[in-house]
Structure formats: structure tokens, C-alpha cells
Amino acid sequence: MATAPPCACACGAPSPSLRCPLSLPVPFSSPHPAVRLAAPPLLARRLAVSRPRAASALEALVLEFDNEDEDEDEGEEVEESGAGLFQGEEWAATADERDAVRSPELEVFELEELPEQWRRSRIAWLCKELPAYKHSTFTRILNAQRKWITQDDATYVAVHCLRIRHNDAAFRVYSWMVRQHWYRFNFALATRVADCLAREGKVEKCREVFDAMIKQGRVPAESTFHILVVAYLSVARGRCLEEACTIYNQMIQMGGYKPRLSLHNSLFRALVSKTGGTAKHNLRQAEFVYHNIVTSNLAVHKDIYAGLIWLHSYQDVIDRDRIKALRDEMKRAGFEESTDVLVSWMRAFSKEGDIKETEATWHWLLRSGCELPVQAYICRMELYARSGEPMKSLEIFKEMKNQNIPPNVASYHKIIEIMAKAREIEIAEKLMDEFVESDMKHLMPAFLDLMYLYLDLDMHHKLEQTFTKCLGRCRPNRILYTIYLESLVRIGNVTKAEEIFGEMHKNGMIGTNAKSCNIMLRGYLSAEDYLKAESIYELMCKKKYDIPVDSLEKLQSGLLSNKKVVKPPKPVSMKLDEEQREILIGLLLGGTQIESHAQKGVYIVNFKFQEDSNAHSVLRVHIHERFFEWLPSACRSLNRESEIPYRFSTIPHAHFGFFADQFFQKGQPVLPKLVHRWLSPRVLAYWFMFGGFRLQSGDIVLKVSGGNIDGVERIVKSLQTQSLTCKVKRKGRFFWIGFQGSNGDSFWKIVEPYVLDSFASSTEESHNVGSDGLQDSDTYYDDDTQRHDRESDE
């Protein structure tokens, strides 16, 4: 964060004779001319406060700990069929296009208007001193002024902080104001604070003020909508794209505003900047953006057309009429079709099995003289595979290599998949060996295709060899283990299958699901081990897994022969087991939310994971499996791990009431008074996985969601009883607990048995866990414990 220079923080008090307006230029507007021929006069003896100048670029949200730079572990994305479009393009938004998006005028008194000298002096002293203090002392100073300070006084202080570019101090003053009994909602001030926060990238603080406006029944100003969308889009790696879309939609549907072209283009660019497999879900939002551009009579950029066609080509069901309409509109606008458009057209035709149109588009590409992209070859390979000519697909793959076009990961995935489905064993194995020798990453899909081939052909020995080879090169997953488990059950090796199933169940990164449990149930039934089959049946009933009728009948007949009767699952009172309770406590400490339901006394747990984090991607699958019976039926019916959303919620249940009462008060996160008694190794592990990270140095950092210094002190003392010495910093609204050196090693030894493998192998994956708090100046725990006063909400 660009902090105010020392001279700004330690400047003298505002002059009582201050007459000039607090000239803060309007963002997204042209610079003020040097000479104004005519200017409307200010209201008598009032200061009209205009908006601060927009920064040249929003600051990237960074996480720093002990002034050490942390390089984010980007990881390599799978090269899917068609990477994101328009990477690095400059057409979307420029500062010059952001013309005057006005906000309500905010007026504050001049200091000399106050009749009391003592009041002028105290307000001037607050303006001078407050920006230099950290959070706890800041609040303590304001609390000491309650006997005399009024809303107008506090507003003047907040505006002064905005004027000197100390937006965090202005937000603290504003937050303190709204908790006072004399406060009356000031829409203009709220708008100005929100705009300044969003301009600096403090999206969570801005959203807090934004939501408060809506709760007051006011529609935020167009400037607030505009700047907040830009701020969300500027968060690193598209972490807040969904929030940006939400605010953009509200801007049009609730506010009735017509955004500027630059905002439409910026959002559209973000929607198509991901790889095709993930971006295809953004089609509906992209069409909405396009619709708004057209209905607002704005110019449609050629890449808008190309992006929409590209998104349509990745849909499971191709809307050929819509693609044709977009192409026609593109031609009427005078734009020539780029290579991306032709490849998208080929992809759409190949999915439909239309050989004639696909080859016609291919020859069009050849005649254009452009460099032939790998995606065009992949489309043709997929086309002939769908048409029942897999060997033709192999010829196209060889032709690509003969043209000195090096195959990429996507092309190897596609040709191995085609050969495996065609049961061309030798060719598939040869291609797999070539793929492995290329030292490319993301081998797992190709290994799985081979294993499915061996399973279909009952080549169980080769399947086991491929399983072992895959474990040596790839991160294991549930699909890999499930295929191997199915193979073991088919050959009757129930003992080995039981061992693999136990490994899946114990390994949180792999886990079990309905399919693996049904396979194991079938294995026990085939071995006539009805006692173990009954135990699996009970587990499946608890998890609410679907059980095939034939398996139930075999279990029933087997238990009848042993004079036992299998009882159908009864609707029992649901209860969290010990593991689920500890997992939930760890996630709540890291920032998971619980909200009340319309039915009194019933609560819902909202799980939210980061899409850009590989570790969180694994954690979401694990949590989905561990809380499967607590999820709504729509969430339990997902067939593949890739379908599991990054946000999902539990069913409403009274059993979550205890955790809601302990971790939330008036909707705000707090630390329970008994939290120090609940810090078991499993709780610490899930707290670390959800709200912490590990540096390359071995140091470990945990974010504390909610609470004040008293609660954090109880946590620190509890950790000290486990021989863990830690350091605490305060950044904005969050506390951060750090374990350095040998303490980091000791913490890791405690939590390692419960940490998923993906976290054990990764360091410095910077999670977006409270972006606002990451930019504030730090407060050391030792200082806070010596000079803090409890913050009062009164």
C-alpha cells in the first residue's frame, strides 16, 4: 500500500483560515485546465469536497510478513484446448476513457466557522494526530472524545484524512461514527469513503460501506459502482471476478445506470481471459455484457464478437444459429474474421461431427497464409474420432509434427484419448511413452485414459503397472484410486482392495465417495463377507449415498442366511462427529461464514474456496466429501470432482447454532471465550490449510478471522502451553499469527499428520484471505498488550 509520507502524517493542524476547497480531482475525468474562465461559486462559507484523483493503476494486493517478499506459486495451468483470449491486450480500458463519473457533492464546514476556540483546536489536533496511530490507539483516542464530538466534527476529520490520502484513517473514523448513538446516515460521505477505498484496492472495506448504503435503502452512486467493479477486476489472477459481475449487474438492474464502454470491455475481457474449459461457464454473463453494449448504442469491439464465438464453441450443446448471427454482425461491422474466430468455428463444427464445414474452414485457414495453430489440428482430430475414423486422427497428429508444429499438452491428451477409446493399445502406449519423455506436465488425464482402456479389456496387470507409474509422476487423486479399486474387486483381490479403500478414506486429499463405497460393498458381497459389507452399508447410510437395489438384495439374503436382517436406513437425528466439529472450528478460525436461516434457530455454513489456489481446489473436494451428508441433494448429485463448486453451503440445521453463537455476534466474526481449549492438532491443521500459508523459509502464518486482542492473547497463551512461541501482527481488521524458525518447524510437526499432501508440498501460495487487512501498517503483539484498551462498540 502506498502510505502517506511522514510529512503528511505529522503535518500541522489545518489552518483556521482555510478558504480554498479541498480540491480532490474527480477520478476518470480529464485533468483540470490551467485556466478556468467561469466557475460556479461555492456555497457560502462551506467547502465543496470533490473526489480524490484516481491512481494511475490500482495497487496489486500483496501479502507481506516481517517485510519479506513472498513470490506467489503460480503453478502451470493445464494447456486446455484454447487458452484464454486477449491476454495482454490494451483495448479493454484506458484511463482516458474513464470520463467523469460523478458522485454526490459532499460539503463540510470551514474550521473558522466554529465559534468555540477549544473545539477548533481539538478538531485540528485530531486531524494532525489520528493518521499516525494504529488501530487500537486510534479507537481509544476517538472514544475519549465522545463527550463533545458531533457528527459534523467527525465528518470534518474523515474528510481531512481523505484529503491527505490517508484513506484507512478515514475509514476508521467513518466506522467509529456509525457506531455512535448520534449518527445519522450521510450518503455523500459514505460514497466518498467507498470510492477512495476502492480506488486503493481495499475492496472488502469498500464493499462494507457499499452494503451499508443498500441497507439504508439508498442506491449507491454510479461512481461507487464503477470504481468497485474496476477494483474487483484488478485483484490478482481474477480472484474476484464473480463479485465484479455481481456489482456490474446491480449497477444496471438496481441503479439503472449505463456504464461507460471501458467498463463493459474490461469485464468482458476478464470473462474470456481464462482457459476454455473454465471460461465456458461465463457465457451467460458475457452475453449480458454484449447486450448492454448494443442497447446503449456503444461501439462493439471486434474482440467482443470473437470472444462470444469462442465461448459458444466450448459449450456442450452448440448453438449454431447464434454463432452464425454473431459472424454476420461482425461482417456488417466491417471486421475481418481472425484466426481465433475460424478456430472457434472449427471447434463448433467438429463437436457436431460436420466434416464438410470443418474441412472448409480448415482450407480457409490454409489459404489465409497464417501460422496454423495447434487447436485447429486438435479440432480435426476430434472430428474424425467422432466420425469413427480414429486412424485419420492419428494421421493428422503426425501431419502436425511433420509441419514442425510441436505438439502441446492438449494435443497429446486428445490423441491418447482417441487411441484409447479405439482400443489401439500399442499406439496408445507408444504415444504415452513419448508424452512422458517430453517432460511436459499434467500427465494424469492420459494415464487415466490408459487405465480405463486396460480396465475395459481386463488387462489388470498392466493397469496396476500404470497405477504405480502414475503415482511416481503425478499427484494422486480419487479417480485414479477408484479405477484401481474397481480392478482389484473384479479380480477378486478383496484384501488388497480393502487396503486401498482404507488408504483412500484416511488420506484427506483422496477421500471416498458413493462410487468407491459401492465398489467396496460389491467386493465384500462377492467374497460373502457380510459383516464387513454391513459396516460399509451403515457408513453409506450415514453419508446418504445411493445404494443399488441388487447390492441391497444380496446383503439382505446374506444376512438372512446368518439369521440377521438388514434394516433400512432410518431418519435419525443428524449430528456432527468429532472430526467434523474440529474441521469446522479450524475453518471458522480461518474465515468460513455461518448465516442464520429464515427459520428461527436454524443456521447454514457457507464454504468458500479460492479458484486460483491449487491447494484450495483440493481442500474443497475434501470438505465436500467430509460434509457430504450435510449438503443439499443438488450438491450431493454431482458426478465428477470437477463439478464441485468453489462455493457451496450446508442444509439449514439447528446443530450449527452452537458454532454460530460462539463465532459470530450481530453477524460479525468473533473469537469464542473458550477458543483456547479447542486448539487441537486437527483444528490447527485445518485453520492453516484454509486461512494460512507456509513460506519458503519454513515460517508459517495464520490469519485470525474476527476477535480482538484479548481473544488473540488467549490463543497465544494456549499455543505457548504446546511449546509454540509466536508473533502477532495486526493488519487492518485482521490479526496474523506467525511461527518463525524452530517454532515454525514445531508447528508443522504438530499439524502434519492432518495436513493434505498438496499443502505439504507447496509453500508461499498466497491465499486471498482478507485482502484489505494485508495492506495496513502492522501492529506488534508485544506493543499491543502493553498499551491497548478494549475497543468499545457503544
Verify that 602 and 715 share a domain, yes or no. yes
Q: Which pLDDT does position 506 carry in this prediction? A: 81
Write the pLDDT tens digit of every residue in 254-310.
989 999 999 999 999 999 987 766 788 899 999 999 999 999 999 999 999 999 999
Domains in the chain, number: 3
Nearest to 408 by CA among 368, 386, 430, 376: 376
Verify that 455 and 603 share a domain, yes or no. no
CA dist., res. 452 & res. 470, Å (int): 13
Assign 3-class secondary structure to 24-51. Answer: CCCCCCCCCCCCCCCCCCCCCCEEEECC
Verify that 489 and 439 share a domain, yes or no. yes
Verify that 550 and 618 share a domain, yes or no. no
CATH of the domain at 127: 1.25.40.10
Q: Which pLDDT does position 395 carry in this prediction? A: 95
Domain assignment of residue 779, yes or no = no
CA dist., res. 629 & res. 650, Å (int): 9
CA dist., res. 357 & res. 350, Å (int): 9
- State the residue range of the domain holding 729: 578-763
Helix (H) or strand (E) holding 780: strand 779-780
Nearest to 83 by CA among 413, 409, 445, 447: 409
Domain assignment of residue 524, yes or no = yes
Task: Examine the fold and report which residue of 224, 257, 290 is the final residue of a domain before the chain moves on.
Answer: 257
Q: What is the total residue count of the chain?
A: 794
Question: Any idea which residue has 458426478 for its cell?
Answer: 639
Domain assignment of residue 653, yes or no = yes
CA dist., res. 668 & res. 682, Å (int): 25
**Arithmetic mean of pLDDT, 789-794:** 34
Residue 244 grid cell: 465484479
Given a cut of 70, whether residue 140 has pLDDT beyond it is yes
Verify that 659 and 740 share a domain, yes or no. yes
SS3 assignment, position 129: helix
**Arithmetic mean of pLDDT, 404-415:** 92
Q: Which pLDDT does position 102 carry in this prediction? A: 63
Verify that 664 and 733 share a domain, yes or no. yes
Domain assignment of residue 643, yes or no = yes
Q: Quick check: 235 and 203 in contact, CB under 8 A?
A: yes
Verify that 111 and 228 share a domain, yes or no. yes
**Cα-Cα-Cα-Cα dihedral sign, residues 769, 770, 774, 780:** negative
Domain assignment of residue 308, yes or no = no
Say which residue, 557 or 96, is predicted with more confidence: 557
Q: Which pLDDT does position 265 carry in this prediction? A: 94
Question: Any idea which residue has 450438491 for its cell?
Answer: 635
Verify that 598 and 460 share a domain, yes or no. no
Q: Quick check: 177 and 151 in contact, CB under 8 A?
A: yes
Task: Examine the fold and report which residue of 257, 279, 311 is the final residue of a domain before the chain moves on.
Answer: 257
Given a cut of 80, whether residue 774 has pLDDT beyond it is no
CA dist., res. 680 & res. 578, Å (int): 11
CA dist., res. 679 & res. 675, Å (int): 7
**Arithmetic mean of pLDDT, 668-692:** 88
CATH of the domain at 601: 3.10.28.10
β 106-109/593-596 pair status = unpaired
Lowest average pLDDT, out of 411-420, 646-655, 678-687, 698-707, goes to: 698-707
> 218-227 burial string, b = 16+ CB within 10 Å, else e?
ebbbbbbbbb
Q: Which pLDDT does position 566 carry in this prediction? A: 57
Task: Examine the fold and report which residue of 209, 226, 257 is the final residue of a domain before the chain moves on.
Answer: 257
CA dist., res. 330 & res. 682, Å (int): 57
Verify that 647 and 547 share a domain, yes or no. no
Residue 335 grid cell: 471486421
Verify that 547 and 582 share a domain, yes or no. no
Residue 738: beta bridge partners?
701, 727
Q: Quick check: 765 and 73 in contact, CB under 8 A?
A: yes
Assign 3-class secondary structure to 521-590. Answer: HHHHHHCCCHHHHHHHHHHHHHHCCCCCHHHHHHHHHHHHHCCCCCCCCCCCCCCCCHHHHHHHHHHHHH
**Cα-Cα-Cα-Cα dihedral sign, residues 154, 156, 161, 167:** positive
Q: Quick check: 451 and 420 in contact, CB under 8 A?
A: no
Verify that 555 and 636 share a domain, yes or no. no
Q: What angle do CA 556, 562, 564 make, to 5 degrees?
A: 55
Verify that 667 and 589 share a domain, yes or no. yes
Q: According to the per-residue pLDDT averaged within each range, which of 108-117, 631-640, 681-690 is highest?
A: 681-690
Nearest to 375 by CA among 87, 79, 88: 79
Q: Quick check: 278 and 81 in contact, CB under 8 A?
A: no
Q: Which pLDDT does position 563 carry in this prediction? A: 58
Which amino acid appears at position 410 of this protein? A
Q: Quick check: 220 and 255 in contact, CB under 8 A?
A: yes
